[in-house]
Amino acid sequence: MIYVGTNYHPHDWPRERWPTDIRLMKEAGFNLVRLGHLCWDSFEPSEGNYDFTWFDEVMDLFSDAQIEVVLDIATRPAPTWLHKKYPVITLADRNRNRLYAVHRYYEDVGHPVFQEYAYKFAKVLTERYADHPALYAFGLCNEVGSGMPTFSDEARQRYVQWLKAKYGSIEQLNAAWAAQRWSRKLNSFEDIEFPVSGNMNGAPERMLDMWRFFSDEQLSYLVGLSEIVRKYAPNARETTNHWGENPVLGFDYLKGYREIFDLPGIGFYPGVNPEDRNALFGACFTTMHRIAEKDEPMWCLEFQTGSYGAYAPPKGALRMYAYLSLLFRSEAICAWTWRAMLGGEEQYIFGLLDHDGLPGRKLDEFRQFAYEMQELKLAGLQLPYLPKPDVALAYSFESFKVSENQRGYYKTAYLDQMMQTFLALCEENVECNIADLRNIEKDYKLLLVPGHCVMDEASAQSIRHFVEQGGTVIMTAYSAKVDEHNRVFGTTMPGRLSDVFGIRANAFERPVYHHTDTNEGGLQKQKLDLRRENPKIRMADYVVDIPINYYEILEPATADILATFTGLESELPAVTVNTYGKGQAVYVAVPAQLDLMQLLLNHFYAKLRIHKGPETPQGVAARQVGDYVMYVNTTSSMQHITVPAPGQGMLTGRSYERSLELAPYEVEVFKRNTK
């Protein structure tokens, strides 16, 4: 079953308007609504004084309409009265100046006082609505991971305790942090500061531990909310639209997702310009990250309808987005938002209804999608779609944070490597799971490790074991450069894995002018548009001509050369492959890039008997779902697709003999004729 619905904020609208909105939702075929988020003080207007009578009425109205509710536990943002009573729960900047809660998400979720009040509110809310007939699931707050870190004195004391628990002694901490460098040894744990001040960041070892600390606090907070739901509402499911990938704060989602989340959830925001493929499929990548290795579908608790100052994507794109999300294992599509808000920070994020409360064209697209889901269900199409991939794509929150902090070296951003690899899979409609190298749980034929710069012992052992047992791993440049303390390996690289890959990869070249923001020697260096070399990559009879701004000098020991660089003084290995145990380890001397990754992946798909998805033109996503093939045209151009046999279009009713045409942003569900 597919759930289709919207986010609704009844506290924004007069009570007499509620029945009208619910009627419109019902007429649109909606069977789901998300309620309660971002309004703690509507439930608790002052400390300990609760008012649920208005919301009881809302829940009853949705129950009467047979629309199921995801009820958020709205602990962020905290009420003004709580910030005023306890200013210590408010964030502090990098210079420890206390900030004012003038925007959302200015509360320190790790502070015991904030947690005391938030957990008390969560208990009262969950107990009250645990057995309400409209309730389907509780949401564990809104967008945990979004916001900013706090550098208050209180947070520093918690950080000190976290480091004590992690390292045990100041000697161990000094060793891990290379504290002998630049005379930065610590005599006691009380010497510890956050490694930020003004605009400056401290040593890389300390920066990584700081982000781990903030991550653990957010995970711990979510654990607390989850435990409350499981204790006081044991029959309810739980989900959340956390933002573990947030570039400002975020957290290490893969470290704790199995223990915390029942239903994986997301805010699905591909943007309003489908031509931006990085944004479009970036939303799909985030979906896969949230599912990881769980055999659970995705709940799109927020689903983009408009943007700041943008009324909507092009006509047809919202419906296209919805079908695209189905291909990436969604079960629930919940529009953000029902009605464009009149006030607040998001007054020009446009909803399904306009500011005057009348439907716009976007509601028509959601209505069409909702009714098509019912028709396809009746036709026997089994959704949600839950495949069993042969490919795993490794992701690392720690590698992301490390590479962002050390951009002078990691010139190709970690997320760029991830997206180029993911897009290469998407172009061939190949399924993958996102995996945590520290703990790979399922069996795969192929493991992809793009730019995974942190190589801790657990991750290295996972790769070693995977290859020994017969798997094939492909790892790209910038990988395995630092250990778990963010210290560069003093051994042959890739660190901890040079024997598995059968190479030495310590040296590198930059064919373009290198520029750093660090003012070396007192003279500011100029940014020059200069290219020193123009290498290309030759694999068999095929030459990949891509911009190469960085390449590693690979010295094969036991590895064979699969591809070489041309256009240099002498040919150098570009891709190597090494037999190790029963499997193979492939190393790519450049960062992941779409054309090169497609070439490599197609080389190994056949060897590993990995089935590609339905063959389509570029920009058309497709999946085989039982006896059906679902085609989604993500482009603004007409697309012509060869079908595998004569059949019928379940959405259009058209008959297809050899091919079908998809108009811009159009969708078709194809079923071949049976004899």
Report the CATH number at residue 320. 3.20.20.80
Q: How far apart are CA 278 and CA 632, in angstroms?
A: 17
% of the chain exceeding 70 in pLDDT? 100
Q: Both 587 and 442 in a single domain?
A: yes
Q: How far apart are CA 62 and CA 641, in angstroms?
A: 43
Residue 436 lies in a domain: yes
Q: Both 373 and 395 in a single domain?
A: no
Q: Both 542 and 486 in a single domain?
A: yes
Domains identified in the chain, total number: 3
| DSSP classification of residue 488 | B
Domain enclosing residue 408, as ranges = 391-514+525-608
Q: How far apart are CA 407 and CA 294, in angstroms?
A: 33
Integer Rg of the chain from CA:
26
What pLDDT was estimated at residue 516?
80
Q: Both 591 and 661 in a single domain?
A: no
Q: Which class for 648: exposed (0-12), middle (13-18), buried (19 or more C-beta within 10 A)? A: middle
Q: Both 557 and 643 in a single domain?
A: no
Q: Both 559 and 636 in a single domain?
A: no
Structure tokens at 25: 């939702």
What residues contact residue 48 under an 8 Å CB cut-off, 6+ apart?
none
Residue 161 lies in a domain: no
Report the CATH number at residue 464. 3.40.50.880
Residue 425 lies in a domain: yes
What pLDDT was estimated at residue 468?
98
What pLDDT was estimated at residue 514?
87
Q: Both 626 and 588 in a single domain?
A: no
- Could you say which residues of the chain have pLDDT below 70? 522, 675
What residues contact residue 675 under an 8 Å CB cut-off, 6+ apart?
none
Of 587, 608, 629, the position where a domain reaches its end is 608
Q: Which class for 226: exposed (0-12), middle (13-18), buried (19 or more C-beta within 10 A)? A: buried
What pLDDT was estimated at residue 675?
66
Report the CATH number at residue 636. 2.60.40.1180
- Residue type, position 250, single letter: G
What residues contact residue 157 under an 8 Å CB cut-off, 6+ apart?
none
Residue 533 lies in a domain: yes
Q: Both 440 and 542 in a single domain?
A: yes
Residue 222 lies in a domain: yes
Q: Both 581 and 459 in a single domain?
A: yes
Are the C-beta atoms of 290 and 298 separated by less than 8 Å?
yes
Q: Both 87 and 226 in a single domain?
A: yes
Q: How far apart are CA 115 and CA 82, in angstroms?
A: 11
Of 553, 580, 608, the position where a domain reaches its end is 608
Please, which residues bridge with residue 49 across strands? Answer: 46
Q: Which residues of 414-445 are buried (b: 16+ CB within 10 A; e: fewer)?
A: bbbbbbbbbbbbbbbbbbbbbbbbbebeeebb
Return the closest-CA partner of residue 163 out of 483, 404, 489, 485.
485
Residue 165 lies in a domain: no
The number of residues in the chain equals: 675
Q: Both 373 and 448 in a single domain?
A: no
Of 555, 586, 608, the position where a domain reaches its end is 608
β-strands 536-539, 446-449 pairing: unpaired
Q: Both 594 and 649 in a single domain?
A: no
Residue 508 lies in a domain: yes
Residue 520 lies in a domain: no
| DSSP classification of residue 54 | H
| SS3 assignment, position 141 | coil
